[in-house]
Amino acid sequence: MSENKKYWLENYGCQMNKAEATAIELELQEVGWTQAEKDSEADLVIINTCTVRKTAENRIWGRIGHYKHLKKTKDLKLAVIGCMAENWKEQMKKDAPAVDIIAGTKGQKLLIRKLTGEYTGQEDFLEENRYSFHSSHGVQNSINALVPIMHGCNNFCSYCIVPYVRGREVSRDSIEILDEVRQLAESGVKDVTLLGQNVNSYNDVENSVNFAQLLKMVARETKIPRIRFLSSHPKDLTDDIIDIMASEKNICDHLHLPIQHGSTKVLQDMNRKYTKEDYLKLVDKLKSKIPGISLTTDIMVGFPGETVADLNELKDLLEEIRFTEAYTYFYNPREGTKSFDREDSLPEELKKSRLAEIIEIQRRISKEVSLEKIGSIVEVVVESVSKKSDKELLGKTDRNENVLFHGTKDLVGSVLSVKITDSRGQTFFGEEVLCPGE
């Protein structure tokens, strides 16, 4: 048990990292740690890392250097955990003596035992070789919650380091998931996102529950008003998943469906396991069964061997599908992946210029899609008071749209009808629409 000791946690990367960081904070608080107001007051600093891109790694090496300097004036422990710790643990042991604890993606649950001394080297060795899920990820008085349901990836896209640092797919017990979602509903959570590196390949073999069945169970057996999930792999988005999305009212009409590129040749080089035509058929099916569905995606530009013709195919695909939003980036080679050091890699400046073209197209499309929604009435879950004014509220629609409108803090957590009056960037502006008699 810690005696009045304080921690400081820095989190980088994806929403899975965010969920795991929240779980670790809850576990620290359970054994007596409290959150420091700033890093210089902490007895323990935890850096939860990302290794997807080199820029993320460079930033974390910089933070390790910061704490190396701070340790000269203060007695504190420095723990580096997560994907970068998994990927570079040997180099970290050698080059970063300021780091006291290194816990990779499979060893995070040992962190508390390491801090309290309740572990053995043998236990450490055994548990570092398998991933175990945390029991709770919800923050008290929160409207939203992230709930991991599976971990790892079996796809081995040729550019992606995730399968190597997260490991093979492991699915969480479906009963545990339902219990956590029920507890979140009881605590006031209104919006739950089911998480996984490849969420729709979820498969609880012991209880014979696949992702479609789990989605139906969460929708029908909990009292959560809104259910989302990410990230989905197109090859695993089956008809039964789409049918359940269409039939269950509390499953949101929004889907993040990474395509990565619009050229079948590039997709095959990426080892994505579907063609452009497969993806377009899937989108047609989604739009047919769930009218008005909001689709977002991930797009990588500048993959080795990408031609002008490939890039034009991607541009045409954007115009055809008209994603609400696309998260775009250029190819970043990761050592250890199959596409690393390919001889047909593109120059950095060419990758950046092609990315700029794609960003410009998608910004125009996003703006056009947003303008089409002005005048419509949407149902909004009020998430918080605006950071700019205590007389404005920020809410979210089931299509994952942020809406800002006038209101007071007592409405946080409410579900309101709001008329969209304007759109700027990724935010809508609106006014509450009162029902007759209110």
pLDDT digits (tens, 9 = 90+) for 421-433: 999 988 999 999 9
> What integer pLDDT is reported at residue 128 of this predicted model?
61
Which pLDDT belongs to residue 437?
A: 44
In a domain, 134, yes or no: no
| Alpha-carbon span 43 to 38, nearest angstrom | 11
Asked whether residue 176 falls in the same domain as residue 233, the answer is yes
Give pLDDT, residue 388: 87
Task: Report pLDDT digits (tens) over 264-283.
Answer: 999 999 999 999 999 999 99
In a domain, 236, yes or no: yes
Tell me: do 36 and 179 sit in the same domain: no
State mean pLDDT over 227-233. Answer: 95
Structure tokens at 325: 């939003």
Q: Which residue has the higher pLDDT, 107 or 159?
A: 159
Among residues 127, 162, 184, which one ends one of the domains? Answer: 127
Is position 193 within any domain?
A: yes
Nearest CA to 159 among 258, 240, 69?
Answer: 258
Strand-pairing partners, residue 102, are 80
Residue 136 covered by a domain: no
For residue 406, name the pLDDT band (cuts at 50, 70, 90): very high
- CA 174 from chain centre, in angstroms, equals 20
357, 276: one domain:
yes
pLDDT at 120 over 90: no
Domain end residue (candidates: 343, 371, 399): 371
Whether residue 329 contacts residue 300, with contact meaning beta carbons closer than 8 Å, is answered with yes
Residue 283 domain-assigned? yes
Higher pLDDT, residue 106 or 20 = 20
Asked whether residue 242 is domain-assigned, the answer is: yes
Cα separation, 402 vs 430, whole angstroms: 10
> What average pLDDT score do residues 193-198 get?
96
Quick check: 107 and 128 in contact, CB under 8 A?
Answer: yes
The answer to whether position 12 is within a domain reads: yes
Tell me the per-residue pLDDT of 290-330, one tens digit each, with 9 for 90 and over. 999 999 999 999 999 999 999 999 999 999 999 999 999 99
Collapsing DSSP states into helix, strand and coil, what is residue 292?
A: coil
Residue 176 sits in the same domain as residue 85: no
CA distance linking residue 210 with residue 133, whole number of Å? 18
> What are the tens digits of pLDDT across the range 127-170?
566 778 888 887 767 899 999 999 999 999 999 999 999 999 99
The whole-number average pLDDT for the span 402-416 is 94
Q: Check which CATH number belongs to the domain holding 407 and give it.
A: 2.40.50.140
CB atoms within 10 A of CB 169: 19
Residue written as token pair 């957590």 = 413
Alpha-carbon gap, residue 326 to 321, rounded angstroms: 11
The answer to whether residues 241 and 310 belong to one domain is: yes
Domain count, the chain: 3
Integer Cα distance of 331 and 158 in angstroms: 11
For the domain that residue 82 is a member of, what is the CATH number?
3.40.50.12160
Percent of the chain with pLDDT over 90: 83
DSSP label at residue 434: P
Residue bearing the bigger pLDDT, 8 or 89: 8
Give me the chain's average pLDDT, please.
92
What range defines the domain where residue 117 resides? 6-127
Last residue of a domain, one of 127, 154, 171: 127
Residue 79 shares a structural domain with residue 207: no
Residues 117 and 188 in one domain: no
Question: Which residues, in sequence order, are bridge partners of residue 103?
Answer: 81
Percent of the chain predicted with pLDDT > 70: 95
Note whether 427 and 395 are within 8 A (CB). Answer: no
φ/ψ (deg, to 5) at 295: -115, 130
- Diameter of the chain by CA atoms? 70
Residue 385 has pLDDT above 70, yes or no: yes
pLDDT at 269: 98
CATH of the domain at 313: 3.80.30.20
Q: What local confidence, expressed as pLDDT, does residue 435 receive?
A: 60
**Residue 121: is its pLDDT beyond 70?**
no
- Do residues 15 and 81 share a domain? yes
CB within 8 Å of 389: residues ≥ 6 apart:
none
